[in-house]
Structure 1
Amino acid sequence: MGSASEEYQSLLLRLDSHGHIPELSSNAVEEFLSHRPVAMRWYLRLVGWESKLLWLLSGSSIVVSIFNYMLSFVTQMFTGQLGALELAGASIASVGIQGLAYGIMLGMASAVQTVCGQAYGAKKYAAMGIICQRAIVLHLGAAVLLTFLYWFSGPVLKAIGQTDSIADQGEIFARGLIPQLYAFAISCPMQRFLQAQNIVNPLAYISVAVFLLHILLTWLVVDVLEYGLIGAALTLSLSWWILVIIQGLYIIFSPLCRETWTGLSLKALKGMWPYFKLTVASAVMLCLEIWYFQGLVLISGLLPNPTISLDSISISMNYLNWDMQFMLGLAAAASVRVSNELGAGHPMVAKFSVLVVNGTSILISIFFSAIVLIFKVELSKLFTSDSEVIAAVSDLTPLLAISVFLNGIQPILSGVAIGSGWQGVVAYVNLATYYIIGLPIGCVLGFKTSLAAAGIWWGMIIGVLLQTISLLILTARTNWNAEVAKAADRLKQSANEERLSLLDDI
């Protein structure tokens, strides 16, 4: 207790003397925040300390999120050169098939963020490699099941109302993405494993390098060798496997992972059930979120004037997706910060981190929303020269600005939920706000009123708004001391499983 008090007094001196904020430690800040009251001038300096930690993580996480997303974006651009039919097939396969798998894999990987992040905060380094391997096994199992969806994607696309010609092209593209499905199943856990240790800069360098290589390979395969749609899909799969191989080599040989990666172990196959339950809750939570937005795009194709409606919503969603990739990077950093501090037994620092990241995201969202409103015509012209589509996108711009603002709050709260291990609760919230309330309202406004595409978008906004309010209430009512205890119990359970595995081996 004496050392903590001394550290507290030292912290007061550093704050009063305008000391270097980066020198502060989580232990010292936890001790400081536990003393009441805290003067505002100290809070402002602590915000600077937390912001520095947050941006060290989120800057690279944002780069990783955006450049991984751009791999598919570049492929879409090259398929557009093949013809309208090929582009339509690739687009619908990306939304209807690849998007489904993306939601499942990304959702399952959030369990790695929770458990590995808390294990790292608690200094249970050896358990992290086992958790990562356990996650990869479960991800590969999901990939095997999803392979059937990819292979028989043609009938699936026809069943949801796509024309035979578009569905056939979509099937060709989806089958070429089957190798990418398995690469994604391995990459997702590895990325979260590294992020949980605050190893983000190497991930960013790898993502940018593979992206540049992907542009060259896609140009060579599609434009020079003229291998068409299947060539574009297989090139995307190859780029993802290159990404996986480089990430894997880094984990194996990097000195930074020496304590957390101790090699392959059969222990990963034991004690699956508790982790599997968290994984399922994580997958449901994010799947319900991602599929909600994709479903609205598919529904817009059923409106009376489908071409204009689909084009206008697709263009608007494209900008929302770019904003979402930025915010997902920030959310990943928030998840790591919260899980690390909960694992380390720092409830006050975890709570403070939540406040800082939400304040930061709101300011960023206001800026992005202003850009959308100011450049509403110019943004649509980047995608089309059709005057009707430009007018339709301009009409949707105010709704897009509202969505961008909400998108600055909602993913961050989801990231906090992942870091805290609340995936099961949030899954129920998403089901109620998105599918029981938001989606039906969007369909009624879109098909039963003159709002059309705007009506569908209003349904999306209502769903996201209600979900955001629910998460705000959940976060505000959180007992952070109880969350620390839950994190300790989760890690203790994992440690018991490791001990039982060792006894079995003996």
Structure 2
Amino acid sequence: MGIWRRDIVEELKKQLWLAGPMMSVTLCQYGLQVISVMFVGHLGELALSGASMATSLAAVTGYNVLMGLSSALETFWGQSYGAEQHHMLGIHMQRAMFALLIVCIPIGIIWANMRHILLALHQDPIISREAGIYALYLIPSLPAYGLLQCHVKFLQSQNIVFPMVLTTAITSALDILFCWTLVLRTGLGKKGAAVANSISYWINVILLSLYVRFSSSCTKTWTGFSKEGLHNIPKFLRLAVPSALMVCLESCTFELMVLLSGLLPNPKLQTSVLSICLNTCGMFWAIPFGLGAAASIRISNELGAGHPKAARLAVNVTLLMATIEGILVFSLLILIRNLWGHAFSNAKEVVKYVASLMPLLASVAFLDSIQTTISGIARGCGWQKLGAFVNLGSYYLVGVPLAVVLAFVAHLKGKGLWSGIICALAVQVLCLLFIALRTNWEKEATKASERVNGIKFPVDITPGGASLQQN
């Protein structure tokens, strides 16, 4: 029992050492979008509605797609690093950067036509026009965001986290200055917020790329660009596409709620408040995402090294932390329910409506904490295809239909939309928990060795876990 307890404590320390900085990094990166919306919100309800709509659609059609595609790297890199194939991290990053930059082209075309897309979806013409202008000025942020995700996951897979904390903190501080200057001082208004967002993402990726290029910590993993980086791109895409689907099937549901809110009575109020709630969820989502990132690193490293017992222990510790974190976030949101709306708007009706939705929002945050963390486990194991099927069923067979019925048939409006999300999350959590708890970790370690090396290795199933030995 004493040895088992020491193993748990040691694993807890390892995950917290990784999760804490990753929470800060994710929160700061997501905060760039939230800061822009906050500044625009004080320009008026129409400006807030347009920027919120554009940010939501930009997330589902662009940012989340790029983040999802890059999530495949967590599997490749984590298992390659665990197997001590360090040079492959740089090769995988080159493949990812090339693929993501190509994907930015069609995404940019979509953003340039966002006004027409929203009108085709029967959104309010005035809000659609405002959203279209905002999205147009967000286009320069696309390649920066894609490259940034590659660099973050590159460093994350090597347990190099504090340089990311420093660079994202610097970027966030500068973003506030850029927004204040461009939104309030130059007269650019909402355009200035989008421009500030793009500048901040480019500063962040430049700082991280300089660290990767010149730091001694990356000399084994980054050896410069090579032609090998353009080989086997289909292999990368076979895991990257399911990774993107896994992320986007979920995020599309949240953004679909924003579009549905535009069809409710008083669309300006409904859209503004729902977007505020989504931004709030996104901010708190950074915490379980950090836990999931730590779990992905730990599990992929242990599987790549052939230590299934250690991988199972990492999963159990992760689930415990996710549950505790979810309870704390739920409690916090209930406590601040009457105050939170003031951070986004001065309108009393907006603040009051936000307060009425906070109990539902707290429930979403609790369930999202668990599912986001388990999704990190899935990325570490390479379960992206399975996760995509779970998300498809949870959201589009349960959540969305129920949300539509509750909002438009039962006339619960915004509360109905959020109730549908809660039901979808509950189904998703139960399915992912069942998969994680029923997994054969010895078999997963064998799969990891095949993925990294292309051949089978025996795995050590003793608690300590020895290194892989080739047949």
Cα offsets for 1:248-306 (capped at 9, x unmatched): 11111110000000100111111111211101110111011111111112212222343
Q: Where in structure 2 are the equivalents of 1:71-150 lying within 5 Å?
A: 71-150=32-111
**Which residue in 2 is equivalent to 1:48?**
9
What is the RMSD computed on CA atoms of the aligned residues?
A: 1.9
**Which residue in 1 is equivalent to 2:443?**
482
Task: Give the alignment partner of residue 215 of structure 2, picking from 254, 261, 270.
Answer: 254
Q: Where in structure 2 are the equivalents of 1:233-312 lying within 5 Å?
A: 233-312=194-273
Change over 3 Å in CA distance of 1:483–1:205 after alignment to 2: same
**Which residue in 1 is equivalent to 2:179?**
218
Change over 3 Å in CA distance of 1:457–1:417 after alignment to 2: same
Match of 1:262, as an amino acid?
T
Q: Higher mean Cα deviation, 455-464 or 59-68?
A: 455-464
**Which residue in 1 is equivalent to 2:376?**
415
Q: Name the CA distance, whole Å, in 2 between partners of 1:174 and 1:246.
A: 25
SS of the equivalent of 2:132 reads: helix
Q: Name the CA distance, whole Å, in 1 between partners of 2:350 and 2:145.
A: 35
Match of 2:324, as an amino acid?
L
Q: Name the CA distance, whole Å, in 1 between partners of 2:254 and 2:165.
A: 27
Deviation, 1:386, is: 5.1
Contact 1:131-1:268 within 8 A present in 2 as well:
yes
SS of the equivalent of 2:140 reads: helix
Q: Name the CA distance, whole Å, in 2 between partners of 1:339 and 1:238.
A: 34
Cα offsets for 1:178-230 (capped at 9, x unmatched): 11101111111111011000011000100001111122222222333323333
Q: Name the CA distance, whole Å, in 2 between partners of 1:225 and 1:455.
A: 41
Q: Name the CA distance, whole Å, in 2 between partners of 1:255 and 1:433.
A: 45
Q: Name the CA distance, whole Å, in 1 between partners of 2:46 and 2:158.
A: 45
Contact 2:53-2:271 within 8 A present in 1 as well:
no
SS of the equivalent of 1:118 reads: helix
Contact 1:285-1:427 within 8 A present in 2 as well:
yes
Contact 1:62-1:330 within 8 A present in 2 as well:
yes
Cα offsets for 1:153-181 (capped at 9, x unmatched): 12112122233332222222212111110
Change over 3 Å in CA distance of 1:296–1:117 after alignment to 2: same
Change over 3 Å in CA distance of 1:309–1:67 after alignment to 2: same
Return the index of the structure with the highest Cα Rg.
1
Task: Give the alignment partner of residue 325 of structure 2, picking from 346, 360, 364.
Answer: 364
In the superposition, the TM-score normalised over structure 1's length comes to 0.86
**Which residue in 2 is equivalent to 1:200?**
161
**Which residue in 1 is equivalent to 2:170?**
209
Task: Give the alignment partner of residue 126 of structure 2, picking from 161, 165, 180.
Answer: 165
Cα offsets for 1:235-254 (capped at 9, x unmatched): 22111111111111111111
Change over 3 Å in CA distance of 1:317–1:236 after alignment to 2: closer
Cα offsets for 1:82-115 (capped at 9, x unmatched): 4433332221111112432111011101101110
Change over 3 Å in CA distance of 1:379–1:236 after alignment to 2: closer
Identity %: 37
Q: Higher mean Cα deviation, 395-404 or 113-122?
A: 395-404
Match of 1:472, as an amino acid?
L
Contact 1:218-1:232 within 8 A present in 2 as well:
yes
Change over 3 Å in CA distance of 1:219–1:307 after alignment to 2: closer
Q: Name the CA distance, whole Å, in 1 between partners of 2:382 and 2:133.
A: 39
Q: How many residues align?
A: 456
SS of the equivalent of 1:124 reads: coil
Change over 3 Å in CA distance of 1:249–1:389 after alignment to 2: closer
Change over 3 Å in CA distance of 1:443–1:322 after alignment to 2: same
Runs of 5+ consecutive residues of structure 1 not aligned to the other structure:
1-38, 496-506
Deviation, 1:450, is: 3.5
Change over 3 Å in CA distance of 1:233–1:207 after alignment to 2: same
SS of the equivalent of 2:339 reads: helix
SS of the equivalent of 1:408 reads: helix
Q: Where in structure 2 are the equivalents of 1:370-385 lying within 5 Å?
A: 370-384=331-345
Deviation, 1:387, is: 5.3
Change over 3 Å in CA distance of 1:438–1:337 after alignment to 2: same
Does residue 337 of structure 2 align to residue 341 of structure 1?
A: no
Q: Higher mean Cα deviation, 204-213 or 382-391?
A: 382-391
Cα offsets for 1:53-93 (capped at 9, x unmatched): 11111111001000111111222222234443333222111
Contact 1:103-1:291 within 8 A present in 2 as well:
no
SS of the equivalent of 2:338 reads: helix
